[in-house]
Amino acid sequence: MSDEETETTETADDQESASYDHLIEDHRRLSQSFIWRRHRAFYDEQGVGAWTSGTIPWFVTSNASVARAYAQVIDAFLRDIADGAFGPMAPDAVIHVVEVGAGHGRLSYMLLERLASLAQAGESQRFRYVMTDFAQSNIDFWRAHPRLKGYFDAGLLDVARFDAEVDTSLELQISGEILSEGTTGPLVVVANYVLDSLRMDVFCVQEHALYESRPAVYSTQPEPDLDAPGLLDRTAFVYERVPASETPYEDVEFDAIVSRYAEMLDDTAFTFPVGALRCLRALDALSGGRTLLLSADKGYLHEAELGERAEPQLVTHGDAFSFSVNYHAIALWFLQRRGIVLATTPRDGALTINAFASGVMRPSVPRTVRAFGEFVEHFGPMDFAAIQYDIRSDSSMSVHALLALLRLGDYDAWLFYRAVDALVARLERPSVIVRAELRRLLPLVWRNHFHLGADHDLAFEIARAYSAIEAYEEALRFYALSIDTCGDSAITRHNMALNLYWSDRLSEALKCVEASIALDGSYEPPQVLRPKILDRLEGA
Ligand SMILES: C[S@@+](CC[C@H](N)C(=O)[O-])C[C@H]1O[C@@H](n2cnc3c(N)ncnc32)[C@H](O)[C@@H]1O
């Protein structure tokens, strides 16, 4: 997965010119390589730092547009359940929505907000959201996050440490309940940008014969320590193809999928998502075979996308990496479980979003099918992801187009953050309508904000927008919030002084401008403003 925030500067030419002379691991199944150890250690060590440092991209799978679409599909599913999709259900039964690899928690928060507000209509089955990850530091971060406190207190949110490749039950850390096999009831699973991070193997079909493609790992230098940070960036795979056994996994479900590929494909390679399928099997066992999976990732689902593929190489982000997800195999697995596949038509971008359900046919979940069509397939988050960057970088956009973009993105805070310079530049003489729209929209943007660290000071940017429409009280409130959340600065104090000056609160303006000068004597704007304030105070 990539978005523009983390674009690499390395070119294909750079990669080709490196020489991978040093064998560091001999051929073996990809799922058994040492590389997974380093990848897992990275997430464990970094915690939320994986995102605040900008190492791991997140926006495309964790924005407000995704949250809106998922909330609509999940709410529809909860209504279908209440209507008897899986037979009679006690009205007070709670359906768990389990997010796997929730990471930073931004999607969880925005999705929970929307689900909670849709649930107020009272027509759907009750739910509880469960954020999970295998990194305890992420869980500790969520537990301390002020945005989530109300949901924990209301019992709408819980957390669990869940290693998707190993665990078969979930121990909820707030309520103490354990979700285990057969006791859990129907389940919704959200898995964004995580199935591509779980163990997989590689096969290929050549002249109608099936081979296992086993990578050997080479590096550009000797590697005495295979756990050394940064090592994966220096590696490349060289594959050998060995005839595959008819039962490579000695697992009826998995082997059936692999042998189906041997029949239907030729002259192509494919990955087998063994880690993702083990995870889904464990979760499906909890729900007694009544699971809805919603998943966004780079990957492919349609048969036509399986042709002419090469064996994959690593795509690294720091010491983590990802491969494209073979959603086609995941679809086959759900079909084995008498389930359904809600697929989006392939777009040309990296992102695909699909839904799968076990234990139901389409007629029993009509609302879910309709919501998926309306909110995901027909102009949904995939299309939003495809166009938002191009639109944002169009410097000729009018203020009306920028506001429309923010509405299109469901008032996403990061989208606003990236668009705010262009927006403020076009607010020289805003019309009454533009002012009113900004007053409506800015609180919604703030509501979507899930603070990860002091690097991106959204409160400051919102304050600038309020200031540009002469909403000085609100601007001052957000500058104060900026100081609370991201620390004091001469610039913030000077901006506050200006807003106070424009509101004729001259003594307070003087205090602020002096605070600005005290914070940074070399910053010029407050030196210019101070005499103006003093003049007005003397004339008053
Ligand atoms: C690329 S991040 C995705 C975060 C978020 N879902 C998103 O869309 O931005 C992958 C997340 O999966 C977690 N993860 C990786 N392997 C895992 C495993 N085996 N079990 C559970 N979580 C895992 C990592 O800790 C990390 O939080």
CA 39/CA 322 separation, integer angstroms: 9
Question: Is 34 a member of any domain?
Answer: no
Q: 148 C-alpha vs ligand 1 centroid, how far in Å?
A: 19
Nearest CA to ligand 1 atom 25: 43
The confidence score (pLDDT) of residue 128 equals: 97
Q: Say if residue 360 is in the same domain as residue 403.
A: no
**Among residues 166, 377, 129, which one has the least CA distance to residue 368?**
377
The confidence score (pLDDT) of residue 187 equals: 97
CA 191/CA 102 separation, integer angstroms: 8
Residue of 97, 137, 194 to mutate, ligand 1, most atoms within 8 A of C-beta: 194
Q: What is the mean pLDDT of the chain?
A: 93
Question: Is 8 a member of any domain?
Answer: no
How far CA 214 is from CA of 75, 253, 263, 271, 281, in Å, comes to: 43, 22, 21, 11, 25
Q: Say if residue 342 is in the same domain as residue 419.
A: no
Domain that holds residue 498: 386-539
> Which CATH number characterizes residue 449's domain?
1.25.40.10
Q: Is the pLDDT of residue 78 over 60?
A: yes
Q: Say if residue 162 is in the same domain as residue 311.
A: yes
CA 510/CA 500 separation, integer angstroms: 9
**Amino acid making up residue 153:** D
Question: Is 349 a member of any domain?
Answer: yes
Q: Is the pLDDT of residue 7 over 60?
A: no
- Name which residue leads in pLDDT, 322 or 203: 203
> Which CATH number characterizes residue 63's domain?
3.40.50.150
CA 55/CA 239 separation, integer angstroms: 28
Residue of 43, 169, 353 to mutate, ligand 1, most atoms within 8 A of C-beta: 43
Q: Say if residue 330 is in the same domain as residue 391.
A: no
Q: Say if residue 360 is in the same domain as residue 436.
A: no
Q: Say if residue 438 is in the same domain as residue 314.
A: no
User: CB within 8 A of 428, min separation 6: which ones?
Assistant: none
Question: Is 168 a member of any domain?
Answer: yes
Pairing of strands 170-171, 22-25: unpaired
The residue-averaged pLDDT of 379-401 equals 85
Residue 16 pLDDT grade (very low, low, confident, very high; cuts 50, 70, 90): low
Q: Does any ligand 1 atom lie closer than 6 A to the CB of residue 514?
A: no
**Among residues 379, 448, 384, which one has the least CA distance to residue 411?**
448
Residue 17 pLDDT grade (very low, low, confident, very high; cuts 50, 70, 90): low
Q: Say if residue 364 is in the same domain as residue 401.
A: no
Q: Is the pLDDT of residue 37 over 80?
A: yes
pLDDT tens, position by position, 137-191? 999 999 999 999 999 999 999 999 999 999 999 999 999 999 999 778 999 999 9
**Amino acid making up residue 389:** Y
Q: Is the pLDDT of residue 193 over 80?
A: yes
Q: Say if residue 267 is in the same domain as residue 413.
A: no
Question: Which token pair is 510?
Answer: 């003087």
pLDDT tens, position by position, 332-341? 999 999 999 9
Which range among 13-17, 214-218, 318-322, 343-347 has the greatest average pLDDT? 214-218
Q: Does any ligand 1 atom lie closer than 6 A to the CB of residue 163?
A: yes
- Domain boundary (378, 413, 437) is at 378
Question: Is 361 a member of any domain?
Answer: yes
The confidence score (pLDDT) of residue 10 equals: 41
Name the 3-class secondary structure at 126: strand
Question: Is 62 a member of any domain?
Answer: yes
Q: Is the pLDDT of residue 57 over 70?
A: yes
The β-bridge partners of 295 are 191, 354
Residue by residue, DSSP assigns 150-219 as: HHHHTTSEEEEE--TTT--SEE-TTT--EE-TTTS-SEEEEEES-GGGS--EEEEEETTEEEEEEEEEEE
Residue 199 pLDDT grade (very low, low, confident, very high; cuts 50, 70, 90): very high
For helices 327-336 and 252-264, the axis angle rounded to 10 degrees is 120
pLDDT tens, position by position, 281-324? 999 999 999 999 999 999 999 999 999 999 999 989 989 998 99
Q: For the whole model, what pTM was predicted?
A: 0.94
Residue of 140, 197, 280 to mutate, ligand 1, most atoms within 8 A of C-beta: 197
Sign of CA dihedral 407, 416, 462, 114: positive
Tell me what percent of the residues of the chain surpass a pLDDT of 70.
97
Q: Say if residue 446 is in the same domain as residue 519.
A: yes
The confidence score (pLDDT) of residue 539 equals: 83
Question: Is 20 a member of any domain?
Answer: no
Tell me what percent of the residues of the chain surpass a pLDDT of 90.
89
The confidence score (pLDDT) of residue 9 equals: 37
- Domain boundary (327, 361, 378) is at 378
> What total of structural domains would you count in the chain?
2
pLDDT tens, position by position, 221-270? 999 999 999 999 999 999 999 999 999 999 999 999 999 999 999 999 99
The confidence score (pLDDT) of residue 534 equals: 97
Q: Does any ligand 1 atom lie closer than 6 A to the CB of residue 110?
A: no
**Among residues 309, 315, 114, 160, which one has the least CA distance to residue 233?**
315
Long-range contacts of 134-137 (CB under 8 A, 24+ apart): 134/40, 134/43, 134/44, 134/101, 134/161, 134/162, 134/163, 134/164, 135/43, 135/44, 135/46, 135/47, 136/161, 137/44, 137/47, 137/48
How far CA 457 is from CA of 16, 265, 291, 460, 479, in Å, comes to: 40, 51, 39, 6, 10
Ligand 1 atom index nearest CA of 163: 20
Helices (H), 49-145: 49-52, 64-82, 106-119, 136-143
E strand or H helix at 240: strand 235-243
The confidence score (pLDDT) of residue 394 equals: 73
The residue-averaged pLDDT of 513-522 equals 98
Q: Say if residue 331 is in the same domain as residue 425.
A: no
Q: Does any ligand 1 atom lie closer than 6 A to the CB of residue 316?
A: no
Q: Does any ligand 1 atom lie closer than 6 A to the CB of residue 164?
A: yes
Question: Which token pair is 154?
Answer: 């209301």
Q: Residue 338: left if φ>0, alpha if ψ -120 to 50, beta else—which one?
A: left
Question: Is 333 a member of any domain?
Answer: yes
Phi/psi for 527 (5° steps) reads: -65, -30
Q: Say if residue 405 is in the same domain as residue 270.
A: no
For helices 458-468 and 432-447, the axis angle rounded to 10 degrees is 170
The confidence score (pLDDT) of residue 347 equals: 86
Q: Say if residue 360 is in the same domain as residue 399.
A: no
The β-bridge partners of 187 are 96, 291
Torsion of CA 492, 493, 498, 500, to 10 degrees: 120
Look-up of token digits 């290693």: 163
pLDDT tens, position by position, 436-459? 999 999 999 999 999 998 778 999
Residues in the chain: 540
Say if residues 261 and 270 touch (Cβ distance below 8 Å): yes
Q: Is the pLDDT of residue 18 over 80?
A: no
Q: Is the pLDDT of residue 386 over 90?
A: no
The confidence score (pLDDT) of residue 1 equals: 52
Q: 134 C-alpha vs ligand 1 centroid, how far in Å?
A: 8
Question: Which token pair is 109?
Answer: 């928060």
**Among residues 378, 382, 358, which one has the least CA distance to residue 370?**
378
- Domain boundary (362, 378, 394) is at 378
